[in-house]
A and B are shown apart, each in its own frame.
Chain A
Amino acid sequence: MAAALSGANTLAPRRRRGNPSSGRGWRSPAYLFLLPGFAVFSLVMIYPTVQALIMSLEKWSPAPGVENTFVGLANYAKAFGDPIFWRAMANSGVYTAVTVPGQIVLGLICAVALNRALAGRTAFRIMVYIPVITSWVVVSVLFKYLFATDGGLVNWLLADATSLMDQGVDWYNGRWTAMVAICGLGIWKGVGWTMLIFLAALQAVPESLYEAACVDGAQGWQQFWHITLPSIRRTTLFITIMLVIGAFNVFVSVQLTTNGGPANLTQVPLTYLYRQAFNFLDFGYGSAIAFMLTALIFALSIGQYSLGSKSAQDAAA
């Protein structure tokens, strides 16, 4: 950057009409404004991204005296033959398939209920939003406690208070029961966010559309299907993409409740890569898993985006 600054194009005119910069080309003061932030950003984000790619192609250990050797795609091949890796991916898939629709449907229901004037509207909105601002660590520990086998609130509600079950469930000791608790936490913590964004989108739907529909005789459900849902299509697409990214990033809730156990049954990709890196010191394998997960998230985001924009065009046509 310093070389770029000194190699300034002195012949460039000082000022260009309509552009409020006092310098242009390589002499632009913009570089000085970018420099400090971009230096930190490069050091902490960009350099590690490149470093991760290189490490994923190496047998890399932080242990002293161990030489790091280039192994090509061996770490990636290892993942493809690793049943725990596939199980972790499958668990993430289940978590996504449950929590994304769950948050969207429940968030939309709350948003619709809040959309028109109502006494206590702000209070309701705040109450549903509070789980969103509590930290993942706190709520993960809390859900470990709520779903505890002996004396946990959930088992008490199911077995003691209502007799829905003969005895409590050993939630965190089985793959699917643990997934129920982990997905439950994901939905509980996320509904407030989807509600808030859906609510903003609903508020932006022009009232004239509803009035026109009323004139045409469309009521309640018909209005919802034919006016509300098409109007918030782009917001729904945005929410879906963000939630899918978030779902594949699930980490703290799993680590603090089951830590991937029992016997690696509840691993998700991030808990598994963390274990490979910081318990087994296999930084190369951990980085390879990280790259595959990132590639998957990119592909899913782009896929959803193009599908979503296509269906939006079809609807407009």
Chain B
Amino acid sequence: MRIKQKKLLVAAVRYMVLSVASLVSLTPLIYMFLTSLKENAFMLTSPADVVQGNKTFANYAEAWETGKLSLSFMNSLLVTVATTILVVLLGSMMAYALARFEFPGKSVFFALIILELMIPSIMLVIPQFVLAKDLHLLDNRLGLLLVYVGTNLAFNTFLMRGFFEGIPKELDEAMIIDGAGAWRRYTSLMLPLAKPALATAAIFSFLGAWDEYVWAMTIINDPAKRTLPVAIAMFSGAHSTNWGLTFAAACIALIPVLVVFFIFQRQLVGGITSGALKS
């Protein structure tokens, strides 16, 4: 009888801990959503008013059209999709070379990738700015793409290499006997077998590029070329912030992230934890 009571108590404590954690995690975001449904929220009235007041989606329409958020959304989508494709393609090629070949200088390549993994990305924002200036890529979406591919390559190459090494080498050898060259082994053996790793790398690059703010804020001036994070920061940075409008923009920016998260939840969790447990 006492054991049963103890079990009940433990379950109750677990539910309490998790309920409080979930409540604290979600309340700010729910409050943000409720504010986005309030019109002309320049002056903060009171939280009671935010919760009970009239609800309208007018802010969403206004942010999308007059706030030019549609342009920012397209810019973000364009840059993010291009980044994702290039990181997965170039990264998987590098990962294949590092996982399957012995060649002079391999350890140097590897050391450079690990080294850059440890350098904080904002540390490079100053010389990257000079580089973009020299290449005439300031205020240019290609400048965003180039740096996003470069900064996301190291981690994702590392991630995919780990997966490639787990694919049995006997499969390669069988294909070599059949006369398949390196490129064919890459396209018709590695890529199909490594789909889960490619998906994980794609999600990481997508989320990384979609949310990137510092570099975009540094090189983009033209409002027509802004990405979503810059646009949202601009909405809130104006002298008197229209919180309803700002948070409508923020909620729009969150939609693709949530969609990707819910569809690819398992790959994402697998990617995050596999790296951690191996180290």
Is the CB–CB distance between A235 and B90 below 8 Å? no
CB-defined A-B contacts under 8 Å, sample of 19 = A20-B176, A23-B182, A26-B104, A29-B182, A36-B93, A44-B147, A45-B153, A52-B124, A55-B127, A133-B207, A137-B232, A145-B32, A151-B46, A238-B279, A248-B120, A256-B233, A283-B130, A287-B126, A294-B119
Q: Which of B103-120 contact A (CB under 8 A)?
A: 103-104, 106, 109, 112-113, 116, 118-120
Q: B35 in the interface, Cβ–Cβ < 8 Å?
A: yes
Name the residue of chain A whose CB is nearest to the CB of B170.
A20
Is the CB–CB distance between B109 and A38 below 8 Å? yes
Name the residue of chain A whose CB is nearest to the CB of B131.
A48
User: Roughly how many angstroms separate A269 CA and B242 CA in the complex, as a whole number?
Assistant: 30
Q: B59 in the interface, Cβ–Cβ < 8 Å?
A: no
Name the residue of chain B whose CB is nearest to the CB of A234.
B279
The residues of B that contact A22 with a CB separation of less than 8 Å are: 176, 181-182
Name the residue of chain B whose CB is nearest to the CB of A134.
B254
9 closest Cβ pairs, A-B complex: A44-B150, A151-B44, A37-B90, A48-B127, A30-B101, A135-B211, A20-B172, A200-B273, A28-B103
User: Roughly how many angstroms separate A118 CA and B16 CA in the complex, as a whole number?
Assistant: 12
Is the CB–CB distance between A21 and B211 below 8 Å? no
The residues of B that contact A45 with a CB separation of less than 8 Å are: 116, 119, 124, 150-151, 153-154
With A128-B21, A138-B250 in contact, do A41 and B128 touch (Cβ < 8 Å)?
no
Known: A46-B116, A192-B25. 16 other contacts (CB 8 A): A21-B102, A24-B102, A29-B183, A37-B93, A43-B150, A45-B116, A45-B124, A128-B18, A137-B229, A142-B32, A191-B21, A199-B273, A200-B276, A234-B279, A239-B276, A270-B120
With A21-B100, A43-B131, A200-B273 in contact, do A37 and B207 touch (Cβ < 8 Å)?
no
The residues of A that contact B112 with a CB separation of less than 8 Å are: 41, 46
Instruction: Identify which of A133, A141, A287 contacts B232 (C-beta below 8 A).
Output: A141
Q: B265 in the interface, Cβ–Cβ < 8 Å?
A: yes
List B residues at the A interface (Cβ < 8 Å): 11, 13-15, 17-18, 21-22, 24-26, 28-29, 31-32, 35, 43-47, 86, 90-91, 93-94, 96-98, 100-104, 106, 109, 112-113, 116, 118-120, 122-131, 133, 146-147, 149-151, 153-154, 157, 169, 172-173, 176, 181-183, 185-186, 207, 210-211, 213-214, 218, 229, 232-233, 236-237, 243, 246-247, 250, 253-254, 257-258, 261, 265, 269, 272-273, 276-277, 279
With A40-B149, A197-B276 in contact, do A33 and B246 touch (Cβ < 8 Å)?
no
The residues of B that contact A301 with a CB separation of less than 8 Å are: 118
Name the residue of chain B whose CB is nearest to the CB of A249.
B120
Is the CB–CB distance between A188 and B214 below 8 Å? no
Chain B: minimal CB distance from A267 (Å): 14
Chain A: minimal CB distance from B90 (Å): 4
Counted as pairs of residues, one from A and one from B, with CB atoms less than 8 Å apart, the total is: 288
Instruction: Identify which of B35, B104, B186, B210 contacts A33 (C-beta below 8 A).
Output: B186
Is the CB–CB distance between A124 and B90 below 8 Å? no
User: Roughly how many angstroms separate A40 CA and B94 CA in the complex, as a whole number?
Assistant: 12
Name the residue of chain B whose CB is nearest to the CB of A283.
B126
Is the CB–CB distance between B26 and A41 below 8 Å? no
- Listed residue (A48, A114, A204, A256) with the most chain B CB atoms within 10 angstroms of its CB: A48
Is the CB–CB distance between B18 and A188 below 8 Å? no
The residues of A that contact B109 with a CB separation of less than 8 Å are: 34, 38
With A151-B45, A283-B126 in contact, do A200 and B118 touch (Cβ < 8 Å)?
no
Q: A218 in the interface, Cβ–Cβ < 8 Å?
A: no
Is the CB–CB distance between A25 and B103 below 8 Å? yes
User: Roughly how many angstroms separate A59 CA and B44 CA in the complex, as a whole number?
Assistant: 46
Is the CB–CB distance between B90 and A48 below 8 Å? no
Is the CB–CB distance between A138 and B273 below 8 Å? no
Instruction: Identify which of B91, B207, B258, B277 contacts A201 (C-beta below 8 A).
Output: B277
